[in-house]
Structure 1
Amino acid sequence: MLTAAYRTRLQQLWQEGEAHDARHAARADKRLNITPDTGMFLYQLVRARKAMSLLEIGTSNGYSAVWLGLATQANKGRLRSVDHSAHKTALASAMLDSFGLQHTVSLLTGDAFGVLAGCDDESVDMLFLDADRSRYAGYWPEIARILTPRGIVVMDNAISHAEECADFRAAVLATHGYLAETYEIGKGQFVILKDL
């Protein structure tokens, strides 16, 4: 559950992340956390959808995985989160442990294509996409394959990096059976519903 104490702590962690990123120039050294309102949006979606099987592409230091993990834990489900950086996975592990989410969230270090390819058809209720935007369009056929009916995909940075996300948006909008819209939450959330 998302207690008031957790919300306060998550706000503090976001502020610390912003300060950390301001001190580091290299993208690989940044945390690039989602905004707290994006976290709340994700939490609400997971709870309302009663999502049990979640996948996150782009763990970073685990901030978004905490928001998703708390909702998943309340649903008695499981979240898998993948990042290509072993350093970021280690940071995420420590953060998730501090929230008691080590039994709800599985962290994977590796290539997202491999993780997607290893998922069964229609096995993921919700997917959060917040990684290398140049690869998203290539992910789409696998995402569409693994998403359950009425499953949801949320892509961060839909407004802040709209040009980088254009190919992915076009691929989604050209696929029958999917409804998608961009919402002005955080840096922009492109939300896809498998309307089948």
Structure 2
Amino acid sequence: MSFFEEQCPEMDRYLENNASQEPEHLKRLRRETYHKTTQPHMLSGYQQGRLLTIISKMMSPRNVLEIGTFTGYATLCLAEGLVPDGKITTLDVNDELAYIPGKYFEESPHSAKINFIIQDALDYLEQTDEFFDLVFIDADKENYVSYWNLIKPRLRSGSVVLLDNVLWYGKVLADGPVDEATRQIIELNDLVARDSDFENLILPLRDGINLIRKK
């Protein structure tokens, strides 16, 4: 849940009521996430999910990378826009929760396009030689700068990166010492804004999404 959602739940409900409906399997996944996990706020959720779907459908990507699967909600949203022979690789290290996304991936119409891997994302990025059209990063904030530095060489002109939680509950405005996660996010936002190879805009949706395009 974002700071905005906490401060103005009525507006949040209005935004959801005036957005496209999510598919039925995502409704079920959202309910199960709230019933069976201890941190359901980590779910991308309705509004962000529709944004991911629209961006993916606009781009029609062939190769998508997601860092941070959780229960697979964002994965399924991103998969909606893949070209017929496209794929999405989604990475996570939590094998205890893997049964939830695994179940919904198998049930979805995009199951053949989803490559679900339990592996540290830093190790994966250091080993892969793939290039990605669309990347969504929503994982441990302490490694955000490392993820960014490793993903940049794996992008082509026109590739898009979405970085979640870049407002970090307003902590990016902190005046004084900050924790490591906040420091990483502040540094990342600054690195992206100053990189002449990219253009970006931070969207104040939920906890902030940095929308980045390689020139």
Taking structure 2 as the reference length, the TM-score comes to 0.77
CA distance in 1: counterparts of 2:41 and 2:51, whole angstroms: 20
Q: Which residue of 2 aligns with 1:188?
A: 208
CA distance in 2: counterparts of 1:186 and 1:75, whole angstroms: 31
CA distance in 2: counterparts of 1:181 and 1:99, whole angstroms: 32
**Cα deviation digits, residues 111-142 of structure 1 (max 9, x gap):** 10111122326x10010000001101012221
CA distance in 2: counterparts of 1:96 and 1:175, whole angstroms: 36
- Structure 2 residue identity aligned to 1:70: E
Q: Which residue of 1 aligns with 2:153?
A: 145
- 2:23 is the counterpart of 1:7: yes
Q: Which residue of 2 aligns with 1:130?
A: 138
On the 8 A contact 1:39/1:67 being kept in 2, the answer is: yes
Q: Which residue of 1 aligns with 2:51?
A: 41
Q: List aligned pairs for 1:1-196, cutoff 5 A.
A: 7-21=23-37, 24=38, 30=40, 32-72=42-82, 74-120=83-129, 123-161=131-169, 163=172, 164=182, 165-195=185-215
On the 8 A contact 2:68/2:92 being kept in 1, the answer is: yes
On the 8 A contact 1:56/1:79 being kept in 2, the answer is: yes
Question: Is the radius of gyration larger for structure 1 or structure 2?
Answer: 2
- Structure 1 residue identity aligned to 2:117: L
- Structure 2 residue identity aligned to 1:141: N
Aligned-pair distance for 1:13?
Answer: 3.0
Aligned-pair distance for 1:86?
Answer: 1.3
CA distance in 2: counterparts of 1:92 and 1:15, whole angstroms: 13
Unaligned runs of 5+ in 1: none
**Cα deviation digits, residues 125-184 of structure 1 (max 9, x gap):** 010000001101012221110012110000111234453221211222222211111112
On the 8 A contact 1:34/1:63 being kept in 2, the answer is: yes
- Structure 1 residue identity aligned to 2:68: G
CA distance in 2: counterparts of 1:91 and 1:15, whole angstroms: 12
CA distance in 2: counterparts of 1:41 and 1:7, whole angstroms: 14
Unaligned runs of 5+ in 2: 1-19, 173-181
Alignment identity in percent? Answer: 20
- Structure 2 residue identity aligned to 1:63: Y
Taking structure 1 as the reference length, the TM-score comes to 0.83
- Structure 1 residue identity aligned to 2:107: S
Aligned-pair distance for 1:185?
Answer: 2.2
Count of aligned pairs between the two proteins: 184
